[in-house]
A and B are shown apart, each in its own frame.
Chain A
Amino acid sequence: MIPTTLATQPIASPHAHGGNSVTRTMFRVQLALVPATLYGFWLFGWPSFFLWLLTILSCLGFEALSLQMMGVKRIKATLFDGSAFLTGWLLAMTLPPWAPWWVAVLGGFIAIVIGKQVFGGVGQNVFNPAMVARVALLVSFPLPLTQWVAPLPLGTVAAPDFIHGLQIFLGNQAVPDAMASASLLGYTKTEMSRGIDLLHSLSGDHGALFSMVGTRAGSLGESASMLILGGGLYLLATGIITWHTPVAVLAGIAIPAAIGHAVDPAHYLSVSAHLLSGAAMLGAFFIATDYVTSPNTAAGQIVFGLGIGLLTWVIRSYGGYPEGMAFAVLLMNALTPVIDRFVKPRILGRDRKGKALEIPEGKGA
């Protein structure tokens, strides 16, 4: 009498859905990145836009190629669920804004093919794909990956126009020495290695290195720390992420930084310098919160976040590289399965070890 079409649907309940989808989640994360990205385009001009665009296209291209080679049937749906797009976007946020085109292409290849698809695709990767690409590029090609430029906001005389920007991007034009700059972390590390401590290296006017509004050298994800923070708060407000990971990451950096700076301000940067430099904000709100590669319990996320923060501070303060967020994330990614194994939620009616609770005295049938 009333036909039903159950053949294609799972029979089990529930027969309702909250409406969330992978695509919607990815879209919201991208929305949260928009302000910082637009600001970065304005600050670093056309080359940074080309880099952003090609990194994303490269990720999408390698994703499509991998899916094709693996014989996945739903290529289109998988390609446009936004995950590869987001990986490309996040990778672009961490690159020097004037990096040449092949960095974008190679970065996309490493992120998608080596970082994600060889593990089995979306949801299967152990390491954050964008960070795998970032670290692989940094270790393999240290020069272009540490070539920062001074901010040249669009509209200023020195800013490259579209054609000039394209030439820079394609590597036909060397970055003029006058434009070369350094990020705060890179500058202080270099000065320190020359025997100049922080009190002296930071004594002059270094507004270009360290500014709250973000007019300073660095990657797209570094300059506008405040806009990244704003995007992160949007993710918190919409429930895409919870506070556990970002707060733990920032606390993991801030606590040792505060102690170090209080003890020896000549050798340890201040808390605000740490939190607003490098990938601290981007890492805390957008990288460490990656669903796939972070623990899935609140307590686990706190352990994970503190680990990232602490390792970042240790690498920044004692390591050979000026910035350590990417390394810290990868190291903690490797620990995620271990954390998930040991940190589990308490099951209702059981204790933390999984043993059933005792039946209270005097009761019981």
Chain B
Amino acid sequence: MGFMNLFKSFLGNHWGVHPADHKRPAADQPVRQLPMPPRLYLMLSQHVGAPARPVVLVGQKVLKGELIAAAQGNISAPLHAPTSGVISAIGEIAAPHASGLPALAIAIDSDGEDRWIDSERPTDPYALAPADIANRVAAAGVVGLGGATFPSSVKLNLGRRSSIDTLIINGSECEPYLSCDDRLMRDRAAEIVSGIRLMLTATGAGQAKVGIEDNKPEAIAAMCEAAAKVENVSVVPVPARYPMGSDRQLIIELTGREVPSDARAADVGVIVHNVGTAYAVHNAVCFGRPLVSRLMTLNGGAAGMPGNFEVPLGTLVSDLIAFTGALKGPVAKMVMGGPMMGSVLPHAQVPVVKGTSGILLLDAEEAAASDPEACIRCGSCVKACPMGLLPLEMSARIRNDDLDGAVDLGLADCISCGCCAYVCPSHIPLVQYFYFAKGDLSARQRAQLRTESTKKLAQARQERLEREAREKAEAAARRKAERAAQAAAVDAAKQGETV
């Protein structure tokens, strides 16, 4: 392996970057429980797919864990009350997104009792049928907690429809600053392994591999200990290299399989779930507890109390910051997620969602940005790109409004990991270009679909008009013929009379 790596690096195969991880000391702090905020805001759309549909009325009393919004359609996830209290409003609140645009949410006023709803606990959860496990996961509103927020049950069901042999559990947590997965693996390894066993049953996979970056020795030790009792779960330390946590990269590292460009991981017999998801699956199936809170990291140079917090979903970021005390300095940039792929928050009055792995309060030094300069074609971005793309060429095409050229160079394969912009000596915001182009591209595709459907409608209308005209003409002709026949009959009768 060592020789192969040397050989690979000799050939120039060193994708990715090695950013300073900034994970400690936050990662070494014990998890703290955030006191229940007075009011929670649950975004109806906090997962990939259709937004959830509210099933409660304003003024209605709910218990913790009670369904407040149901899944809509095949790809969606339900929402549950994170605490007991009263539904105080269903309306719009600023979404945790750079735009800060409003989106629908359900507001709950806590009654301070935090009383759980009664839930059914299976006697032996590991004896449940695969479909049953997937259904319980779906009902609990579990989504991918690594940040992708894809409904987990859909992926579990996918496993039963195609032949999955390996379940990969992503504990790499390659984003700098974040340590919630690390903390979870250190503190709740047994629960994670329990979740992995359930997911193995649900997918029908023969083995599970837990990939953990080697900068988390405590997590590796804890997971190894917990997994030792289970024969088909193995813990595999992987090199700390960003973006190791990207599914395609992790799949290659752990199985040597390369996922084809327009295919899914399941197409090569693999399914990837995050460690946080495994923990949520354990809670959902073993205790009937829906996903109502998550572990998340608060970090950054301005954060008053860096560390990991158990936070109820729907908590305002400002409530979390207020709990952690005075800031160490002015916040120059507030980011939800990691520094490499997270999105800037417009302000702190946005709720925590299922995909919130962390809040970064970056100080002026951390957020310092240099003015972009001209590209000197140094090729650093080409070396860093984990997908084998040519970021400098793509951005040059996009700059010149040559979207097709950028697509030909593989724009659709870009995973927006940010390695290129991270290494760029000219500080060119390459990812910004790619986001822009991808947005433009999807707008264009939508416009094309619209044009096509308009054309189809117009054509249908034309056909309908023609048909109607034809039918009218036929009807008129028929009537005319009938009238003529009638007249002829009358004439004949008259003639008969005369005769």
- A: residues with CB less than 8 A from B are 1-6, 8-18, 20-22, 24-25, 74, 77-78, 81, 83, 121-124, 242, 244, 291-292, 296-298, 340, 344-350, 354, 356-360, 362-365
Contacts of A17 in B (CB 8 A): 369-370, 421-422, 427
Contacts of B382 in A (CB 8 A): 296-297, 345
* B264→A365 contact, CB < 8 A: yes
Report the separation of the CA atoms of residues A340 and B321 in the bound assembly, to the nearest whole angstrom: 50
Contacts of A12 in B (CB 8 A): 429, 431-432, 435
Contacts of A77 in B (CB 8 A): 371, 373
* B377→A123 contact, CB < 8 A: yes
Contacts of A8 in B (CB 8 A): 369
* A122→B334 contact, CB < 8 A: no
* B19→A18 contact, CB < 8 A: yes
Least Cβ distance of B56 to chain A in Å? 29
In the complex, residue of chain B having the shortest beta-carbon distance to the beta carbon of A341? B393
A-B contact pairs, 20 of them (CB 8 A): A2-B361, A3-B331, A4-B334, A5-B332, A6-B333, A14-B431, A15-B333, A24-B425, A77-B373, A83-B376, A121-B374, A123-B375, A297-B382, A347-B413, A349-B262, A350-B413, A356-B263, A359-B268, A363-B163, A365-B158
Report the separation of the CA atoms of residues A291 and B392 in the bound assembly, to the nearest whole angstrom: 12
CB of B186 within 8 Å of the partner chain: no
CB of B222 within 8 Å of the partner chain: no
Contacts of B383 in A (CB 8 A): 242
Contacts of B387 in A (CB 8 A): 347-349
- Report B86-117 residues with CB < 8 Å from chain A CB: 98
A-B pairs, 10 with minimum CB distance: A14-B418, A349-B261, A357-B260, A12-B432, A10-B429, A356-B261, A296-B379, A298-B12, A16-B339, A291-B378
4 extra A-B contacts, CB within 8 A, seeds A14-B418, A17-B427, A356-B263: A15-B335, A22-B373, A244-B12, A363-B162
CB of B134 within 8 Å of the partner chain: no
* A365→B258 contact, CB < 8 A: no
Among A14, A244, A297, A350, point to the contact of B340 (Cβ < 8 A): A14
Contacts of B162 in A (CB 8 A): 363-365
Report the separation of the CA atoms of residues A3 and B347 in the bound assembly, to the nearest whole angstrom: 7
Known: A14-B418, A347-B261, A357-B260. A291 touches B342 (CB 8 A): no
* B260→A349 contact, CB < 8 A: yes
* B425→A21 contact, CB < 8 A: yes
* A13→B261 contact, CB < 8 A: no
* B374→A13 contact, CB < 8 A: no
* A16→B340 contact, CB < 8 A: yes
* B410→A354 contact, CB < 8 A: yes
Contacts of B362 in A (CB 8 A): 15
- Report B372-411 residues with CB < 8 Å from chain A CB: 373-380, 382-383, 385-390, 392-393, 408, 410
* B267→A363 contact, CB < 8 A: yes
CB of B346 within 8 Å of the partner chain: yes
Among B176, B259, B376, B378, point to the contact of A349 (Cβ < 8 A): B259
Among B261, B269, B389, point to the contact of A345 (Cβ < 8 A): B389
Among A11, A292, A296, A358, point to the contact of B98 (Cβ < 8 A): A11
Report the separation of the CA atoms of residues A362 and B164 in the bound assembly, to the nearest whole angstrom: 10
Report the separation of the CA atoms of residues A243 and B340 in the bound assembly, to the nearest whole angstrom: 29
Contacts of B471 in A (CB 8 A): none
* B390→A296 contact, CB < 8 A: yes
Contacts of A25 in B (CB 8 A): 376, 378, 425
Which residue, A3, A9, A15, A21, has most C-beta atoms of chain B within 10 A?
Answer: A15
CB of B17 within 8 Å of the partner chain: yes
Main DSSP-derived SS at the B contact region: loop
* A359→B369 contact, CB < 8 A: no
Known: A244-B12, A298-B12. A14 touches B163 (CB 8 A): no
In the complex, residue of chain B having the shortest beta-carbon distance to the beta carbon of A81? B373
* A15→B339 contact, CB < 8 A: yes
Report the separation of the CA atoms of residues A350 and B389 in the bound assembly, to the nearest whole angstrom: 11
Report the separation of the CA atoms of residues A223 and B260 in the bound assembly, to the nearest whole angstrom: 53
* B260→A359 contact, CB < 8 A: yes
* B390→A9 contact, CB < 8 A: no
* A2→B347 contact, CB < 8 A: yes
Least Cβ distance of B406 to chain A in Å? 13
- Report B332-355 residues with CB < 8 Å from chain A CB: 332-335, 337, 339-349
CB of B483 within 8 Å of the partner chain: no
- Report B177-219 residues with CB < 8 Å from chain A CB: none
Least Cβ distance of B98 to chain A in Å? 5
* B388→A348 contact, CB < 8 A: yes
Among A22, A291, A297, A356, point to the contact of B262 (Cβ < 8 A): A356
Main DSSP-derived SS at the A contact region: loop
* B432→A347 contact, CB < 8 A: no
In the complex, residue of chain B having the shortest beta-carbon distance to the beta carbon of A78? B373
Contacts of B23 in A (CB 8 A): none
* A296→B377 contact, CB < 8 A: yes
In the complex, residue of chain A having the shortest beta-carbon distance to the beta carbon of B18? A18
* A363→B269 contact, CB < 8 A: yes
Contacts of A3 in B (CB 8 A): 330-331
Among A9, A21, A356, point to the contact of B260 (Cβ < 8 A): A356
Contacts of A364 in B (CB 8 A): 162, 263, 266-267
Report the separation of the CA atoms of residues A16 and B431 in the bound assembly, to the nearest whole angstrom: 12
Contacts of B321 in A (CB 8 A): 2
Interface string of B356-367 (1 = CB under 8 A from A): 000011100011
CB of B135 within 8 Å of the partner chain: no
Contacts of B413 in A (CB 8 A): 347-350
Contacts of A2 in B (CB 8 A): 318, 321, 331, 334, 347-348, 361
Report the separation of the CA atoms of residues A359 and B262 in the bound assembly, to the nearest whole angstrom: 9
* B423→A18 contact, CB < 8 A: yes
* B429→A292 contact, CB < 8 A: no
* A74→B371 contact, CB < 8 A: yes
In the complex, residue of chain B having the shortest beta-carbon distance to the beta carbon of A358? B260
Known: A10-B429, A11-B344, A16-B366. A348 touches B422 (CB 8 A): no
* A346→B339 contact, CB < 8 A: no
In the complex, residue of chain B having the shortest beta-carbon distance to the beta carbon of A23? B425
Report the separation of the CA atoms of residues A17 and B427 in the bound assembly, to the nearest whole angstrom: 8
Report the separation of the CA atoms of residues A350 and B388 in the bound assembly, to the nearest whole angstrom: 10
Report the separation of the CA atoms of residues A291 and B382 in the bound assembly, to the nearest whole angstrom: 12
Report the separation of the CA atoms of residues A22 and B376 in the bound assembly, to the nearest whole angstrom: 8
Report the separation of the CA atoms of residues A248 and B76 in the bound assembly, to the nearest whole angstrom: 55
* B423→A4 contact, CB < 8 A: no
In the complex, residue of chain B having the shortest beta-carbon distance to the beta carbon of A121? B374
Among A5, A297, A354, A359, point to the contact of B263 (Cβ < 8 A): A359
Contacts of B263 in A (CB 8 A): 349, 356-357, 359, 364
Report the separation of the CA atoms of residues A358 and B268 in the bound assembly, to the nearest whole angstrom: 10
* A357→B261 contact, CB < 8 A: yes
CB of B55 within 8 Å of the partner chain: no
Least Cβ distance of B382 to chain A in Å? 5
CB of B11 within 8 Å of the partner chain: yes
Contacts of A16 in B (CB 8 A): 19, 176, 339-340, 366, 422
In the complex, residue of chain A having the shortest beta-carbon distance to the beta carbon of B10? A243
In the complex, residue of chain B having the shortest beta-carbon distance to the beta carbon of A6? B344
In the complex, residue of chain B having the shortest beta-carbon distance to the beta carbon of A9? B369
* A11→B432 contact, CB < 8 A: yes
In the complex, residue of chain B having the shortest beta-carbon distance to the beta carbon of A10? B429
Report the separation of the CA atoms of residues A119 and B237 in the bound assembly, to the nearest whole angstrom: 50
Contacts of B376 in A (CB 8 A): 22, 25, 83, 122-123, 291-292
Report the separation of the CA atoms of residues A357 and B344 in the bound assembly, to the nearest whole angstrom: 36
Contacts of B12 in A (CB 8 A): 242, 244, 298
In the complex, residue of chain B having the shortest beta-carbon distance to the beta carbon of A340? B393
Least Cβ distance of B480 to chain A in Å? 61
Least Cβ distance of B78 to chain A in Å? 24
Contacts of A344 in B (CB 8 A): 390
